[in-house]
Structure 1
Amino acid sequence: MNDAGIDLPAKLNTLGRASSVALRAALIVCMITLAGCSSFGNIFGEKDKPEEPDVPAGELYNQALFLMQEGKLRQAVKRFDEVDKQHPYTEWARKALIMSAFSNYRLGRYDDCIESAKRYLSLYPSSKDAAYAQYMIGQSYFKQIPDVTRDQESTQRALDAMQLVIDRYPDSEYVDDAQKDILVARDQLAGKEMQIGRYYLERKEYAAAINRFKIVVQEYANTRQVEEALYRLTAAYYAMGIVPEAQTAAAVLGHNFPDSPWYKDAYKLLQEGGVSPQENKGSWISKAFSLVTG
Structure 2
Amino acid sequence: MFKIKHLLLLSFTIIALSIAGCKSQFEKLRLSNDVAKKYQEALRLYGKKNYSKALILFEDLSQKYRGREQAEELNYYYALTLFKLRDYTSARFQFKTFADTYPTSKYAEECRYMGAYCYYLDSPKASLDQENTIKAIDALQLFINFYPKSDRAVEAAKYITILRAKLEDKAYGNAKMYYDLGGYDITNYKSAVIALQNALIDFPDIKYADEMELLIVKSQFNYAKNSLEERQEDRYTEAITFADDFIDSYPDSKYLAEAKSLKKDSETGIENAKRFLALQTAKIEKYKAQMAKDAKKDSSTLNKTPIK
Is TM-score (shorter-chain normalized) higher than 0.5?
yes
Aligned residue type for 1:140: C
Q: Residues 125 and 233 (structure 1 numbering): CA distance in 2 closer, same or farther, change over 3 Å? A: farther
Distance 1:211 1:47 in 2: 62
Aligned residue type for 2:161: L
Q: Which residue of 2 aligns with 1:268?
A: 257
Paired residues of 1:83 and 1:92 also in contact (CA < 8 A): no
Q: Which residue of 2 aligns with 1:45?
A: 25
Q: Deviations over 1:199-223 (max 9, x none)?
A: 1112232332122222332222334
Q: 1:147 aligns with which of 125, 149, 154?
A: 125
Q: Residues 65 and 222 (structure 1 numbering): CA distance in 2 closer, same or farther, change over 3 Å? A: farther
Higher relative contact order (CA 8 A, sep 6+): 1
Distance 2:24 2:246 in 1: 66
1:246 maps to 2:243: yes
Q: Which has the larger radius of gyration?
A: 2
1:67 maps to 2:57: no
Q: Residues 101 and 230 (structure 1 numbering): CA distance in 2 closer, same or farther, change over 3 Å? A: farther
Aligned residue type for 2:141: Q
Per the normalisation by structure 2, the TM-score is: 0.64
Q: 2:150 aligns with which of 168, 172, 176?
A: 172
In structure 2, list runs of 5 or more residues that go unmatched.
1-20, 183-187, 223-234, 265-308
Q: 2:216 aligns with which of 233, 245, 248?
A: 233
The alpha-carbon deviation at position 250 of structure 1 amounts to: 4.5
Q: Deviations over 1:179-201 (max 9, x none)?
A: 11111111111211111111111
Distance 1:225 1:126 in 2: 44
Aligned residue type for 1:252: S
Paired residues of 1:206 and 1:236 also in contact (CA < 8 A): yes
Aligned residue type for 2:194: N
Q: 1:216 aligns with which of 196, 199, 211?
A: 199
Distance 1:43 1:123 in 2: 35
Q: Residues 71 and 235 (structure 1 numbering): CA distance in 2 closer, same or farther, change over 3 Å? A: same
Paired residues of 1:87 and 1:93 also in contact (CA < 8 A): yes
The alpha-carbon deviation at position 42 of structure 1 amounts to: 7.0
Distance 1:271 1:125 in 2: 60
Paired residues of 2:192 and 2:219 also in contact (CA < 8 A): yes
Q: Which residue of 2 aligns with 1:188?
A: 166
Paired residues of 2:30 and 2:38 also in contact (CA < 8 A): no
Q: Which residue of 2 aligns with 1:282?
A: none
Q: Residues 178 and 42 (structure 1 numbering): CA distance in 2 closer, same or farther, change over 3 Å? A: same
Distance 1:65 1:54 in 2: 15
Q: 1:119 aligns with which of 86, 97, 100?
A: 97
Q: Residues 221 and 96 (structure 1 numbering): CA distance in 2 closer, same or farther, change over 3 Å? A: farther
Aligned residue type for 2:254: K
Q: Structure 1 residues 46-55 or 110-119, which shifts more?
A: 46-55
Q: Which residue of 2 aligns with 1:287?
A: none
Q: Residues 128 and 226 (structure 1 numbering): CA distance in 2 closer, same or farther, change over 3 Å? A: farther
The alpha-carbon deviation at position 43 of structure 1 amounts to: 8.8
Distance 1:185 1:66 in 2: 37
Q: Residues 76 and 217 (structure 1 numbering): CA distance in 2 closer, same or farther, change over 3 Å? A: same
Task: Tell me which protein shows more helix as a share of its residues.
Answer: 2
Q: Residues 90 and 214 (structure 1 numbering): CA distance in 2 closer, same or farther, change over 3 Å? A: farther
Paired residues of 2:243 and 2:260 also in contact (CA < 8 A): no
Please give the secondary structure, in 1, of the residue aligned with 2:35.
coil
Q: Structure 1 residues 230-239 or 106-115, which shifts more?
A: 230-239
The alpha-carbon deviation at position 47 of structure 1 amounts to: 4.8
Identity in percent:
22
Q: 1:101 aligns with which of 79, 82, 89?
A: 79
The alpha-carbon deviation at position 165 of structure 1 amounts to: 0.8
Paired residues of 2:58 and 2:74 also in contact (CA < 8 A): yes
Q: Residues 223 and 53 (structure 1 numbering): CA distance in 2 closer, same or farther, change over 3 Å? A: farther
Root mean square deviation, CA, Å: 2.7
The alpha-carbon deviation at position 140 of structure 1 amounts to: 1.6
